[in-house]
């Protein structure tokens, strides 16, 4: 098996999570690099050395794919995949991306849970007042109305906060990707 074949097989295996059309397009570019190198009198070993470690190339391509995917399909699942793809690029990213991402995501999740708990508490107070006569009906409805209003305000604010967190995380991932690409050239 030639150096090109080994290199391309390893790269293809590392990129198997990418949809086939995209993966084939990327692999074709690397195949062309080998072909042009040979046509210019360069050995396959030199062409492979020039390209660099296929694992680094695959990590970078996977990161780019995950960031693009998170940008076009706004979901925390896609964003998390992009964050974890970034983490695979090195220890620096584990410390400066994964830790803050998980901490901020946990804070945002806890704020959402708190907002929903406040809303449910208002409903619970109204129901408990009707069953046990803890408050008068007007008092119970007032408490339920106040907690509902607070919940709605919290949800509106949290929606904006969550969207800002999502956008800032994507911007940081793109910035980090540009830095990584620059350091590997």
> For 10-33, what is each residue's pLDDT tens digit?
999 999 999 999 999 999 999 999
pTM score, two decimals? 0.74
**Helices and strands, counts by H and E, the chain:** 8, 0
CB 14 within 8 A of CB 55: yes
Name the one residue in this structure whose structure tokens are 């030639």: 2
Task: Tell me the mean pLDDT in the region 30-40.
Answer: 91
Distance CA 68, CA 174 (A): 9
Task: Tell me the mean pLDDT in the region 50-54.
Answer: 90
Residue 117 tokens read as: 């708990």
> For 74-123, what is each residue's pLDDT tens digit?
888 888 888 888 877 776 777 778 888 899 999 999 999 999 999 999 99
Task: Tell me the mean pLDDT in the region 51-80.
Answer: 88
Residue in 163, 184, 181 with CA at minimum distance from that of residue 173 = 181
Specify the 3-state DSSP secondary structure of 89.
coil
What local confidence, expressed as pLDDT, does residue 185 receive?
53
> For 135-182, what is each residue's pLDDT tens digit?
988 999 899 999 999 999 999 999 999 999 999 999 988 887 777 666
The domain segmentation of the chain, as residue ranges, is 53-183
């Amino acid at each position: 098996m030639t150096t090109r074949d080994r290199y391309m097989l390893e790269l293809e295996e590392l990129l198997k999570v990418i949809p086939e059309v995209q993966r084939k397009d990327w692999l074709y570019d690397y195949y062309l690099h080998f072909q042009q190198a040979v046509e210019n009198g360069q050995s396959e070993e030199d062409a492979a050395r020039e390209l660099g470690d296929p694992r680094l190339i695959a990590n970078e391509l996977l990161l780019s794919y995950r960031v693009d995917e998170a940008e076009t399909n706004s979901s925390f699942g896609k964003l998390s995949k992009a964050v974890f793809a970034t983490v695979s690029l090195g220890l620096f990213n584990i410390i400066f991306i994964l830790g803050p991402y998980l901490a901020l995501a946990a804070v945002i999740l806890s704020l959402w849970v708190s907002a929903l708990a406040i809303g449910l508490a208002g409903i619970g107070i109204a129901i408990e007042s009707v069953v046990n006569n803890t408050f008068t009906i007007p008092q119970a409805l007032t408490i339920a109305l106040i907690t509902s209003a607070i919940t709605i305000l919290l949800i509106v604010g949290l929606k904006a906060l969550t969207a800002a967190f999502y956008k800032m995380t994507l911007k940081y991932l793109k910035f980090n990707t540009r830095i990584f690409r620059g350091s590997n050239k």
